[in-house]
Amino acid sequence: MQVKTMREDYGKLDKVEMSIWECCELLNDVVDDSDPDLDEPQIEHLLQTAEAIRKDYPDEDWLHLTGLIHDLGKVLLHPSFGGLPQWAVVGDTFPLGCAFDESIVHHKYFEYNSDSKNSTYSTKNGIYSEGCGLDNVMISWGHDDYMYLVAKENGTTLPPAALFIIRYHSFYPLHKSGAYKHLMSEDDVENLKWLKIFNKYDLYSKSKVRIDVEKVKPYYLSLIEKVSTTLVRKLGV
Ligand SMILES: [Fe+2]
Ligand SMILES: [Fe+2]
């Protein structure tokens, strides 16, 4: 299946509805092969991230909720969501239609991607223009973009910075290596500040701090209630 087709198919959001909490629990059934230091249930990772943020930023409840839901797109790995292969769901993301930056993980394998030999796609700006904004850039498909679509299309009330975090948290070439900044808009620059804060918790929360799920559940249910009870939908497969 082509990347574009996958995005179109899953972008329909037209099959099943489920609550955010149900989705968190469903995620426990999937394993992310790209995540070598994550040997705990996914719900622990979600809550560890959210709780660590909550401790340091007690007033930013939108960021707590972002921590809880940022990886829910990984349900694409689950058989009930079509069981997409790992390469289509997890791992770093990167722009298409312009040069593959050397900071992208396993960069050497782009040699086998015909885009790297295309006279337009292999240039710095490619099909884009300087400062066009990441909104206008096609990013490789994965759990980030899927969850972003689900949140946006369901009319979430989360702020733009939350959607930015959800959409680009696997875009390591940007937020870790500083690549592709020339494509960013002024809004992107502002939102990137929050993504950099978030990323510390996404990584360092993967410690052995155990979370009492039942104890914190009421708090997160109250946050979920604020944005939507049916944020996560099963997609057309
Ligand atoms: Fe993720
Ligand atoms: Fe994560």
pLDDT in tens, 162-173: 999 999 999 999
**79 lies in a domain?**
yes
User: Has 212 been labeled as part of a binding site?
Assistant: no
Torsion angle, CA of 110/115/120/123, rounded to 10 degrees?
A: -10
**9 lies in a domain?**
yes
| Residuewise pLDDT in 10s, the chain (237 residues) | 455 588 888 888 876 788 899 999 999 888 777 776 556 788 888 999 999 999 999 999 999 999 999 999 999 999 888 889 999 999 999 999 999 999 999 999 999 999 999 999 999 999 999 999 999 999 999 999 999 999 998 888 899 999 999 999 999 999 999 999 999 999 999 999 999 999 999 986 555 678 899 999 999 999 998 876 445 444 332
Ligand 2 center–CA 23 separation, angstroms: 15
pLDDT at position 19, please? 86
Q: Tell me the CATH number at 42.
A: 1.10.3210
Question: Which ligand neighbours the alpha carbon of 68 most closely?
Answer: 2
pLDDT at position 237, please? 29
**101 lies in a domain?**
no
Closest residue by Cα to residue 143 from 4, 10, 8: 10
**Measured distance CA(76)–CA(148) in Å, rounded:** 13
User: Has 182 been labeled as part of a binding site?
Assistant: no
pLDDT at position 1, please? 45
List, for residues 42-90, the tens digit of each pLDDT value: 888 899 999 999 999 999 999 999 999 999 999 999 988 888 999 999 9
Ligand 2 center–CA 114 separation, angstroms: 31
Question: Which ligand neighbours the alpha carbon of 200 most closely?
Answer: 2
Q: For ligand 1, an ion, list residues with CB under 5 A.
A: 71
Q: Confirm if 74 and 27 have CB atoms less than 8 A apart.
A: yes
**Measured distance CA(201)–CA(192) in Å, rounded:** 15
Ligand 1 center–CA 32 separation, angstroms: 9
**Overall number of domains in the chain:** 1
Dmax over CA atoms of the chain, in Å, equals 56
Question: Which ligand neighbours the alpha carbon of 169 most closely?
Answer: 1
**60 lies in a domain?**
yes
pLDDT at position 236, please? 35
**Measured distance CA(47)–CA(67) in Å, rounded:** 7
**221 lies in a domain?**
yes
**39 lies in a domain?**
yes
**109 lies in a domain?**
no
**138 lies in a domain?**
no
Instruction: Look up the domain containing 61 and give its range.
Output: 3-92+144-234
User: Has 143 been labeled as part of a binding site?
Assistant: yes
Closest residue by Cα to residue 233 from 164, 162, 146: 146
User: Has 70 been labeled as part of a binding site?
Assistant: yes
Question: Which ligand neighbours the alpha carbon of 52 most closely?
Answer: 2
**Measured distance CA(82)–CA(234) in Å, rounded:** 10
Exposed, middle or buried by CB within 10 Å (0-12, 13-18, 19+), for 210?
Answer: exposed
Tokens found for residue 165 = 């975090």
